[in-house]
Each structure stands twice: as structure tokens, then as C-alpha cells.
Amino acid sequence: MALSAQNGSDRARQLLALTLRLGDRLAHEIEVLEAHRPQDLHDRIEETRQLSNLYRLETARIKADPSLLGGMTPIDKSALRDATVVFQERLHRYEHAVNAAKTVTEGIISAVAEDLNKIRNQATTYGARGRTTDAGPQSLNFGRLA
């Protein structure tokens, strides 16, 4: 899916609307992540993904052919530039929020896996030479099947 524009100004206005919409989505997702409620993102993640893909495709098209924005008015150019600056700032903040959530999640998973491994090793019986063997980190599912 791509933007369908009549001329450079029309494309700029559509890209501006897309940038503002995606920026608003990121602002909401930042609030959710900073509130430590990433599970609340599930319902709206598909729309954000679609908007992100459309934005990526349109910016790549414009980068490959800058004439697509040819003839846009100075007002449209200024509005698009300002919206892009705000969007980039939100994107940077979003990156930090996602990395923080990822780090916390990985830490929780690692702690659970370590705890399960300790519990499993306590139940290990002695072998022929009177030693238990540490198999290292185990899968989180009890059947040890992926």
C-alpha cells in the first residue's frame, strides 16, 4: 500500500498526516511502556505495524525520487519538517522504552530459568561415581521438548 497523491503538496500533506498519526501512536506506546504495562499494547500493535511499514515505504520512495515532493508549498515543507523532528524525538524515546522493557523481560526470564535449573538439579540423583552432573541452563518447558 502506498500514498496516492496528485502532486508534491498533496503528497506532503498525506505524509504529514501519516507522520502525525504514527507519532501519536508512538507517544501512546511510550506512555504504556513507561507505565510498565507492555501487555496493553497487544490490541493496537497491528495498526502501528501497518503505519510504520507505510511510513518506511513512503520515505524510501521519496529518498529514491525526491521529485515526488516537488512543487510543495513552503508552508507544507515547514510543517512536514517540524512533524518529522518531533517524530524522530519520539522514535528515540520509544527506542529507549522498548530497550528498557526488553532488558527487564530478559532478566525475568533468565531468573526464572536459573531458578528452575536449581530446582531440577536438587532433584538429580547421584551417578555411578557419586556425583551429580550439571546439564547447564534448561528449557523453560518441563518436557524439555522445543
pTM, entire model: 0.72
Sorted by where each starts, the structural domains of the chain and their CATH numbers stand as 8-122 (1.20.58)
- pLDDT over 90 at 118, yes or no: no
Reported as a single tens digit per residue, the pLDDT across 49-81 is: 999 999 999 999 989 988 888 888 899 999 999
Name the region of 5 (left: φ>0; alpha: ψ -120 to 50; beta: rest).
beta
Reported as a single tens digit per residue, the pLDDT across 4-42 is: 767 778 888 889 999 999 999 999 999 999 998 888 888
For 28, residues 6+ apart whose C-beta sits below 8 A from its C-beta are: 44
Question: Cα–Cα distance between 91 and 85 in angstroms, integer?
Answer: 10
In single-letter form, the type of residue at position 81 comes to: R
Task: Quote the percentage of the chain above a pLDDT of 70.
Answer: 79
- Cα-Cα-Cα-Cα dihedral of 98, 101, 102, 108, to 10°? 180
